[in-house]
Amino acid sequence: MNKYLLILVLLGLSFTATAQKYQSNNGYVKFFSEAKLEDITAENETARSIIDMETGELVYSVTITDFQFEKSLMQEHFNENYLESEKYPKSTLSAKIVDWNGEKGEQTVKVAGELTIHGVTKKVELEGNISYQDDLVKVSAKFPVALKDYKVKIPKIVFYNIAEVVDVTVAFEYKPL
């Protein structure tokens, strides 16, 4: 009898432990470059992420070649010349929500962690929004990224076409893992 009770307790604990983890397989990431000669927008709807609602830890991964541009030539230059996606195929964020009380509802939060782009990892502190309702968690944020911080070089010939700082927008909708 004690054996069965122990098994039931362990099963219950394992369900409780995993119930706090949520996953997103189709997160949205967009970047926007506003420059003198031309605005550039690219979107990616295949970003992946996991968030632990108990600890506030989150990780996301974005495949660089999945960014879609209005013009195919822009996409080609982005992958080959700027982000070098063969050499650096992913961008990642590993962070923790630092000012969240864990309660359900909507609130503005800060996230601190490490953002990796183009093989360069930098400590970041970002502000975003979290909505936590039963079996659905939504996280969104908009933040600037200075290309020089991540060693993304802009050739002088196209200097007026690409902003030195791009706006990044992210939106993830998570379901229980």
The predicted-structure confidence for 109-167, as pLDDT tens digits, reads as follows 999 999 999 999 999 999 999 999 888 999 999 999 999 999 998 766 665 567 889 99
- Tokens 């992210």 appear where? 170
**Which whole-number Å values give the CA distances from 149 to 81, 107, 119, 156, 166, in the listed order?**
17, 29, 11, 18, 12
**Average confidence (pLDDT) over 75-96:** 94
Question: Distance between CA atoms of 30 and 47, rounded to whole angstroms?
Answer: 10
pLDDT of residue 15: 41
pLDDT band at 17, cuts 50/70/90?
Answer: very low
Whole-prediction pTM: 0.85
pLDDT of residue 150: 97
Collapsing DSSP states into helix, strand and coil, what is residue 4?
Answer: helix
- Among 49-58, 85-94, 133-142, 155-164, where is mean pLDDT lowest? 155-164
Question: Distance between CA atoms of 66 and 79, rounded to whole angstroms?
Answer: 10
Q: Which CATH class is domain 21-176?
A: mainly beta
H/E run at residue 122:
strand 120-133
pLDDT of 9 above 70: no
**Average confidence (pLDDT) over 52-71:** 96
pLDDT of residue 158: 61
48: β partners: 61
pLDDT of 21 above 90: yes
Q: What is the domain partition of the chain in residue ranges? A: 21-176
- Tens of pLDDT, residue by residue over 29-40, are 999 998 877 888
pLDDT of residue 157: 63
Q: Which of 118, 117, 138 is nearest to 128 (CA)?
A: 138
pLDDT of residue 171: 98
pLDDT of 175 above 70: yes
Percent of the chain past pLDDT 70, that is, above it, reads: 85
Who's near 72: CB < 8 A, 6+ residues apart? none
**What are the φ/ψ torsions at residue 68 (nearest 5 degrees)?**
-110, 130
Neighbours of 89 (CB within 10 A): 15
